[in-house]
Structure 1
Amino acid sequence: MSRRIQWAGAHLAASLLITSMVAALVFLVWFPHPFRELAGGVKLFLIIVTVDVILGPAATLIVANPKKSLKELRLDVAFISLLQIAALAYGLWTMVQARPVYMAFEVSRFRVIHAVDVDPQLLAQAPAEWRHLPMGRPQLVAVRPFRSAQEQSDAMFAELGGLTLGARPDFWMPYADAVSAVKAEAKPLAELLQRKPEARAAAEAMARDLGRPLDGLLYLPVAGRNLFWTALIDAASGMPLDYLPVDPY
C-alpha cells in the first residue's frame, strides 16, 4: 500500500502544481473579478480541477500495484499522464473559447461578451483595432447608435435569434464616445438601495473600498452568463468602478 500512496502522492503534487499555474492564468488574466462569476469561470475551472487533481492521482493509486515491475508502473503512469494532459489541454481550449473579451455598454446596460459569442465574419468587418479579440483582461467597449430605422429593425430580429448587440463587432465603438450616454442611462445607487435594502451593507463596503460616497455613484445592470449583477459607475467620469453581486431588476 505504501507504494500506491507514494506514487499517487507524487502524482497529486505534480497535478496541484500544474493546476495552481492554470489557476493563475485563468483568474488573473482570462477571468479576473468579476468575470469568474459573471462569465462562469469558476465552474469551468472546477471541471479542470476534477480531471487534473482528482482523477489522475486516483487512477495512479489504482494502477500502482506492488506486484508490477517499475517499468510497467512507469508505462501505466505515463499513459495516465498523457490522458490527463490531453484533458487539460481540451479544458484550456474550452476556457479560451468561453473567456470574456469585452464588457459592452448596450443602450441601457452592460453585457459580458465571450469570445464564442462573436461571429468571426462580423469580426473581419470591424475596424482594424477590433479585428482580433483580446487574449488578456476583458476590455470596455460600447454599442454605437443605430444609423437607420432599417438597421435597428434588422438588429432587433438578429437579437431575437441570439445575436446580441454587444457581440456584434460592426456595432462597436470606443467606450469613451459613449460616456455621456452611460451617465444619461445610469441611475443613482441610492435608488437601487431603496428597492434592494438587503444590498446596502455590501454597497457601503464597496463604496468605502473605492473611496467614494454613495451619492457619487450611479448604477447600471450587467448581463452575465445566466445572471445579472450591478455595475457601480463613477458619476463624474462615467467609468465602471466595481461590480455588486446584486440583481438590479
Structure 2
Amino acid sequence: MLKIKLKAAAFHFLFTALVASFAGVLIFIVWYPSPYTTISGGFGLWVILTLVELSLGPLMSIVIYNPQKKIKELVCDYALVGLLQIAALTYGVYILYSARPLFMVFVKDRFELVTASDLTPRLQSDAEKWRANWSGPTVLGVRSSETASEQRELMFDTVLSGVGIHLRPKYYTDLDADGVLSVCKPVSSLIIAVGDSFGEEYTVELSRLAPGDDYCWVPVVNGNRYWTAILEKNLNFVKFLPIDPWELHNE
C-alpha cells in the first residue's frame, strides 16, 4: 500500500512541478526578468511558493490515495486537493504580481526601485503611460518642479508624507543619460572600496567584468534597503549587489 501511495505522490509531484515551471516562466520572464530577480525578492518568493506547492499536493496525495476507493471518491478527493493547491498558487502569484518592479527612477545621484505595491491603483494608472515594455521595469528620471505649488509639494508634502518624488508619477520624465553618467563611478573604484569594506567576497565577481571601463556603478534604493547597481555605459543594468554603497570607503 505504501509503495502505491508513494507512486501516486510521485505523479502528483511531477504534475505540480510542471505547473510551478509554467508559473516560473511568467514570473522570471515577464515580471522579474534578470537582473531584477534578486533585488525585487522575486526569486525568494517563488521558491517559497514552489516549496509549498510541491509539498502540499504530494503529501496530501499520500494521505488520500487508496486504490480501493471508488473512482468517484478519488475524483472528489483530488478535486478538493486541486482546489486547495490552486488557491495557494493563486495567492502566491498575486503576491508576486503585487511586488513586481515597475520602474527604476533616477533621482539626483541614485536609482529608486518602484514596485507595484508602492503605488496606489490611481497612481499606477497615472504611471501606465510611462511603461515602455511589458517585461521588467522601465528606467526613467524625474523633472524639477514647474510651479510654486509643485515646489511646496516637493519641499513640504514629500517630507511630511514620506512619499518621495519617485512615487509621484506626475514628475516622471525621460531618463537624462548624461546626468546618470555624471554620477556613475568606474567599477575599478568599486573593487577597491569593496575590498576595503567587505574583503574579497565580491571583488572576484566584480573583477570578471572586463574591460572594466565599459561598466560603472551607482547606488540603488529599494524601500529601506540599499544596493549597488552595475551598469554598462549604455545604461543597461548588468547586476545588482547587496552592498550598501554608503557604507563603502575610498569610493
Quick one: which amino acid aligns to residue 202 of structure 1? E
Map 1:132-151 → 2, pairs under 5 A = 135-147=134-146, 151=150
Quick one: which amino acid aligns to residue 168 of structure 1? R
Match of 2:205 among 192, 202, 207: 202
Matched with 1:55 is: 56
Instruction: Tell whether the 8 Å contact from 1:222 to 1:230 is kept in structure 2 after alignment.
Output: yes
Map 1:88-167 → 2, pairs under 5 A = 88-125=89-126, 129-130=129-130, 135-147=134-146, 151-155=150-154, 157-158=157-158, 161-167=161-167
CA distance in 2, matches of 1:112, 1:226: 11
CA distance in 2, matches of 1:84, 1:77: 10
Matched with 1:18 is: 19
Quick one: which amino acid aligns to residue 8 of structure 1? A
Quick one: which amino acid aligns to residue 167 of structure 1? L
CA distance in 2, matches of 1:167, 1:52: 34
Cα pair distance change 1:83/1:125, threshold 3 Å: closer
For residues 169-207 of structure 1, give each alpha carbon's deviation from its aligned partner in whole angstroms, at most 9, with x where no partner exists: 1111112xx1121122222333322221133321121x2
List gaps (5 residues or longer) in structure 1: none
**1:143 Cα deviation after fit:** 1.6
**1:40 Cα deviation after fit:** 0.7
Report the TM-score when normalising by structure 2: 0.83
Secondary structure in 1 aligned to 2:123?
Answer: helix
Map 1:31-70 → 2, pairs under 5 A = 31-70=32-71
For residues 10-62 of structure 1, give each alpha carbon's deviation from its aligned partner in whole angstroms, at most 9, with x where no partner exists: 21111011111111111122111222211110121123212321111111111
Tell me, yes or no, if structure 1 residue 243 matches structure 2 residue 242.
no
Quick one: which amino acid aligns to residue 78 of structure 1? A
Cα pair distance change 1:86/1:246, threshold 3 Å: closer
**1:219 Cα deviation after fit:** 1.5
Instruction: Tell whether the 8 Å contact from 1:159 to 1:165 is kept in structure 2 after alignment.
Output: no
Secondary structure in 2 aligned to 1:196?
Answer: helix
**1:9 Cα deviation after fit:** 1.6
Instruction: Tell whether the 8 Å contact from 2:57 to 2:81 is kept in structure 1 after alignment.
Output: yes
CA distance in 1, matches of 2:148, 2:215: 34
Q: How many positions carry a matched residue from both structures? A: 238
Report the TM-score when normalising by structure 1: 0.84
Could you tell me the percent identity over the aligned residues?
31
Cα pair distance change 1:118/1:15, threshold 3 Å: same
Instruction: Tell whether the 8 Å contact from 2:105 to 2:139 is kept in structure 1 after alignment.
Output: yes
Cα pair distance change 1:54/1:134, threshold 3 Å: farther
Quick one: which amino acid aligns to residue 129 of structure 1? K
**1:84 Cα deviation after fit:** 0.7
Cα pair distance change 1:53/1:226, threshold 3 Å: farther
Q: Which moved more, 1:72-81 or 1:153-162?
A: 153-162
CA distance in 2, matches of 1:125, 1:63: 50
CA distance in 2, matches of 1:184, 1:11: 55
Secondary structure in 2 aligned to 1:222?
Answer: strand
- What is the CA RMSD across the aligned residues, in angstroms? 2.5
Cα pair distance change 1:246/1:95, threshold 3 Å: closer
